[in-house]
Structure 1
Amino acid sequence: MATPDVFGLNKLKKTMEHNIMEETVRPRRNNAWTMHKRHQIKISNHFDSHQSRLRKTIPGEHDESVPQSYNTRTKQKGITSGCNTIKVVKTFTDYCDRCSLHGLKYVGDLQLHPLERIFWTVAFILAVVTAAYFITLLYHKWDDSPVIESIAARATKMVSIPFPAVTVCNMNKARKSVAEEILNSKNPEDALNKILLKDLCDESYEIYSSSTVKDKDVENRIGNWDTIQNFMTYVRQPCHDMIQSCYYAGQLEKCEDIFNPSLTDEGICCSFNKVKRDFIFRNPRDLSDLNVTFPMSATDWTPEAGYPPESTTRTLPWRPRGTGSHLGLTLVLDAKIDDYYCSSTASTGFKVRLHNPVETPKVADFGFLVSAGEEYRVTIRPIISNASPSLRKIPESKRQCLFSNEKYLKFYRTYTQRNCALECEANYTLATCSCVPYYLPKDANTTICAKRDENCTTEARKTSEIRLTDESANTSNFGTDSQELSPKRCQCLPGCNELRYRGTLSSSAMSGKFTLSKEYNATNQTYFRQNTAVVHLFFTESQFMAYYKSELFGFTEFLSNTGGLLGLFLGFSFLSAVEAVYFISMRVWCSVLQRHQHAAADRQTSVLLTNSSHVSVVTPYPFAQ
């Protein structure tokens, strides 16, 4: 049956042909394939639009087309499903045509030949894969090596750091005059000192195999800190006897005021410019350490915080005054060779160690030797390490350093790698040997290790030091180190802000023809050449290079490099991401809302068709057409 003229199909056909020829014709594509596809798309769109308009005008009740058009449910569902597919394809083609990504508009251009669209699709995928590959490499570099250590932009001034702490030890373990007095004494009170003296100097002496040590009380006293402290103080050379004269910054100083006794692995030694024990230990009164009174004022200096603003040049730790030996520290040391009873090494003289003012030094194995009868010049060079505060958010395993508040030490207030190592060794030795060597940090009631524990303490010390430098080393053959010396408990990384000192030593033998000056505080030239050493410690530069750790790749750098790669390969920007979000979310939501509005209008039209023979219906949502 022919279509009634009221529907205007002939006019519609002419209008569609006119629109097809007028609207989107591209001069560069006039082939048959393009014209055929364009013709199909336009006919389909205009036909759908015309059907929508037809629903507004309801034909008469005798028209047979009414029940055929609006009473078939299956046909409506098919049309709705087809509309959903068309909406998705249309949304995708709109996104491809409007987005700012390079090449994607050719992928969604339906007017192009399929081979052309396949070419641009492959090119776009290759660009995405290439960009993803380089971004992955960039991410691994950012994740694996986020920290760079470089030279600081500004040099560190000499006055901003302290003069190094200097610890001097006589290699004589016990004075001969005191040792002979103990051995020849008939006083029963000296019986314990005799045992300790043989334990100190006689390598073959077995202290607990002696018939003297039968009393349980005597055995307990040998492992008591007070007993060990009194004995070492008695037999060791005191500071005022060892240091004959000392000059600092060209001024003569009272050596007993600026040098204080300190406990080291070499015994009781003398330290200069070391801070008070209240600024070294957390609970100094609960520890077994020397109770030394400092006559001069001291400040709470740390490598990370530096000097407080109110500190002066005469506040411990002292600052350098200038360069050259005349503005450094000069020491005249008397070894008293004739008073040697037993030496810690095969030679005579002194061991000297430069260290951080807040650290307890290990002198026995790390100090440099100073022999009597020679003059030494020690040039000091600080090793300064600083770090950017932004490194705190980077894991410790990647930045390989610790800030002072990131690791709690039981005994020490300030975290340094050396303090951490000493505390770790003390804890491990206590766990394996049930005692602690006298020079390590410990509680006041901890048992002191004696000669019978020497093998155990030596192995414990060796094991802890190996594991500190190499956690993968095989040390499982000793005790329970796998439990007591776990990497988490004894991982002593360097401090992010740390200060160390290195000394360059030069020496020359004393001449017998020089005149003893007043500064040497000596009158006998022969005795002076045989027993005395002169040591000059000084800086040679007023500014020093510092190492600075900072982020190699921060998040900003990573984002910038990633954006550069995406822009290079895809033309991607932040607004490109906004476009994708818009078409995925808002555009889809609007399409769904529009479809629901059309469905509501169709349902209302269907009801009116059933109840009315000839009614003119206006769509309630004109914008939904």
Structure 2
Amino acid sequence: MTLKSIWVDYCENGSIHGLRHIIQKNETPWKRLMWILLLIVASIAIVVLVSASWEKYSYSSMEIAVDDPHYPLTKIDFPAVTICPISKIIYSKALKLVLNKHSNDSDLRTRWTNSLMALSRMQFPHNTNLYYILKNIPTIKIPLDDISDLMLKLAPSIEDIFIKCFWRGVTYKCKDILRFQRTEQGFCYSFNSQTAERSTNNESNIHPPFDGRDGILIPLRNNAAGKHTGLKLIMKNMSNEFFPTDYRRRGFNVLVHPPDGAPDVASAYKVHAVRDRITQISVSVAQVEADDSLNRLDDWNGQCYLYKTKAKNLSSLLHKSSNEDTCFIKCRMKAIHEACNCTQYFFKLYQGLGSHCGIEHIPCLIENDVLQRNAKVTEDEPGFPEWSIPFSMHCDCRPPCSFITYTTELRYEIRQFINKEPLSSRYDVFLEVNYRELYATSYRRSMRYTTQDLLVSFGGVASLFLGCSLVSILEILYIIYKSFLVLVRKHYNKYELNNNAF
């Protein structure tokens, strides 16, 4: 069998349209030329359309569709709740540990008082207020290495803040279900947060989130909604523990956030001590899951980040997490360090982050307060003229493809008190965080143009223009293989003939 006979036989009996007209002996030359041109045009059209389909597949947009409007709560983590006292210093502790040591020197005592008050007001996004606190008042420079330890000793403890704690209607010791949490508002306490610090010497075996397999932290979940079904906290109003010159309203900042993310203090609710009032935070949940079709996206060029945190050993703020809030907090820390060469005292010092910020760094913090509120946008985005964002951080914080969002609503209710209760207890702060509905809404994020769509497009184009299919492609490969064998055999026979001639 010769090479010519192989291809002639394929053209006569193959499934690709038009080939048999080219090799027919009784066809005139101009008809053969016409069929050759038609095959060339069809082949070019296939290449163009297939290239367009591939480009559409490679850079396909995403779509989000409702997967289950009644998704069970049992499959979703209960949100983390972080409590930050408005006063970062217990006044009685400040008297005992610092101020009373300078009773005989009123000027030094005043300087210490002013410095402590300034440090207690150091927080994002209100550093600008420090200008009015420090304006024309004397201060003392506290050694930078001592600031964090000192503020930690003066900070309110769990016993200083919380009276009773309830989870799903059952009373627990507050120290058993709350953890120490570092935030941009200072030292706080969190429930169900994977980013809170984990003590190694806890006597209790509760302390949610709890350890699962391979050291993965597992947050608590809930399958009930409505009053008294979630977290309930009774807190002291701490009216007597503010500095005498601190006239802010007594109370706390409350943050509801995903368990795997650091608290975003800019979204905090202020809960104040008001007589016989209960503050209720109702939570609605929505979950977005990434479809397997997103796995083909490049991690850096995709519209979202595919990384799913394993929540393993998350004992600090600077952990690997897919949460956007955590990313922006780390970006703000970096921006402050680059601008002021320091880190706020309520964060741990990590390698390369210099020293803690002291009184001498406050002018720099004030100057860069606006910087921390603005992230840089790409130059081609409309609506962002250069003058509208004078200062901006360089953050690369893309949204995760899979995430859970908690939508909250703040409500107030009059508490039904008992006549035998002491009058002072009627000014305690009552807080409840519960689910609003018995279900969540689940969405699925997928590629608009899937692999199946790509294959259908390839097959449709090839069938439309040449009438070929996957079997046709296999036929061509088979013919190429046979042709290769013929050429090899021909070359071998020629080689044997030359050897025999000698």
* TM-score bucket (shorter structure): 0.7 to 0.9
Question: CA contact under 8 A between 1:301 and 1:308: conserved in structure 2?
Answer: no
CA contact (8 A) 1:243 1:334 kept: yes
Q: Distance in 1 between matches of 2:317 and 2:428?
A: 41
Q: Partners of 1:267 and 1:227 in 2: how far apart?
A: 13
- Aligned-partner SS, 1:516: coil
Which segments of 5 or more consecutive residues in structure 2 lack a partner in the other structure? 122-129
Are 1:442 and 2:349 matched, yes or no? yes
Corresponding position: 1:579 with 2:496? no
Amino acid at match of 1:536: E
Please name the residue that 2:52 is paired with. Answer: 137
Shift of 1:349: 3.2
Matched, 1:244 2:163: yes
Structure-2 residue corresponding to 1:228: 148
1:584 is displaced (CA, Å) by: 4.6
User: Which residue of 2 is the match for residue 65 of structure 1?
Assistant: none
Map residues 147-546 of structure 1 onto 2, 5 A cutoff.
Answer: 147-152=62-67, 156-174=71-89, 185-186=102-103, 193-200=112-119, 203-204=131-132, 210=138, 213=140, 219=141, 221-224=142-145, 226-231=146-151, 233-234=153-154, 236-275=155-194, 277=196, 293=202, 295-298=204-207, 308=213, 317-337=219-239, 340-341=242-243, 347-363=249-265, 365-373=266-274, 374-388=277-291, 391-396=294-299, 397-404=301-308, 411-412=318-319, 414-443=321-350, 446-457=354-365, 462-463=370-371, 466-467=374-375, 485=394, 490-508=395-413, 510=414, 514-516=416-418, 522-524=421-423, 527=424, 531-546=427-442
How many angstroms apart in 1 are the aligned matches of 2:180 and 2:76? Answer: 23
Q: Which has the higher contact order (CA 8 A, sep 6+)?
A: 2
Is the Cα–Cα contact under 8 Å of residues 181 and 197 in structure 2 kept in the other structure?
no
Aligned to 2:464: 568
Q: Deviations over 1:103-140 (max 9, x none)?
A: 23223323123443344334433433333333233212
> Does the Cα contact within 8 Å between 2:374 and 2:391 map onto a contact in 1?
no
How does 1:16-27 map onto structure 2 within 5 Å? none
- Report the identity percentage: 21
Q: CA 1:271 to 1:589, structure 2 compared with 1: closer, same or farther past 3 Å?
A: closer
Query: Which residue identity lines up with residue 370 of structure 1 in the other structure?
Result: V
Query: Aligned to 1:169, what secondary structure does the other structure show?
Result: strand
Partner Cα distance (2:208, 2:93) in 1: 38
What letter is aligned with 2:434?
F
**Residue 257 of structure 2 contacts residue 264 of structure 2 at CA under 8 Å; is this kept in 1?**
no
Contact 1:332 1:533 (8 Å CA) reproduced: yes
* In structure 2, C-alpha distance between the alignment counterparts of 1:343 and 1:470, rounded to whole Å: 46
Once the two structures are TM-superposed, the CA of residue 346 in structure 1 deviates from its matched residue by: 6.6
Displacement of 1:155 after TM fit?
5.8
- Asked if structure 2 preserves the Cα contact closer than 8 Å seen for 1:164 and 1:354, the reply is yes
Measure how far apart 1:401 and its partner are: 1.0
Structure having the larger proportion of residues in helix: 1
What CA distance in whole angstroms lies between the structure 1 residues aligned with 2:494 and 2:147? 100
| Paired residue secondary structure (2:164) | strand
Aligned partner letter, 1:222: P
Residue 223 of structure 1 aligns with an amino acid whose one-letter code is L
Unpaired runs of 5+ in structure 1?
A: 1-86, 214-218, 285-290, 608-625
Determine if contact 1:391/1:399 at 8 Å carries over to the other structure. Answer: no
Question: What is the identity, as a one-letter code, of the residue corresponding to 2:144?
Answer: G
Alignment CA distance shift 1:499-1:591 (3 Å): closer
TM-score, normalised relative to structure 1: 0.62
Superposition deviation, residue 367 in structure 1? 0.3
Distance 1:194 1:120, change over 3 A: same
Note if contact 2:99-2:113 (Cα within 8 Å) is conserved in structure 1.
yes
Indicate if the aligned counterparts of 1:173 and 1:341 stay in contact, CA closer than 8 A: no
Q: Distance in 2 between matches of 1:142 and 1:379?
A: 42
Q: Report the number of matched residues.
A: 474
CA contact (8 A) 1:273 1:357 kept: yes
Contact preservation (8 Å) 2:69, 2:440: no
Q: Secondary structure at the match of 1:467?
A: coil
| Structure with max Cα Rg | 1
Structure 1 vs Structure 2 CA RMSD: 4.6
For residue 228 of structure 1, what is the amino acid of its counterpart? S
What is the CA-CA distance between 1:264 and the residue it aligns to? 2.1
Residues 442 and 494 (structure 1), Cα distance of their counterparts in 2 relative to 1, 3 Å cut:
farther
The answer to whether the 8 A contact 1:101-1:572 is kept is yes
Q: Residue 206 of structure 1 contacts residue 451 of structure 1 at CA under 8 Å; is this kept in 2?
A: no
Residues 152-161 or 540-549, more deviating: 152-161
Cα separation, partners in 2 of 1:581 and 1:165, compared to 1, 3 Å: closer
How much has 1:572 moved relative to structure 2? Answer: 1.3
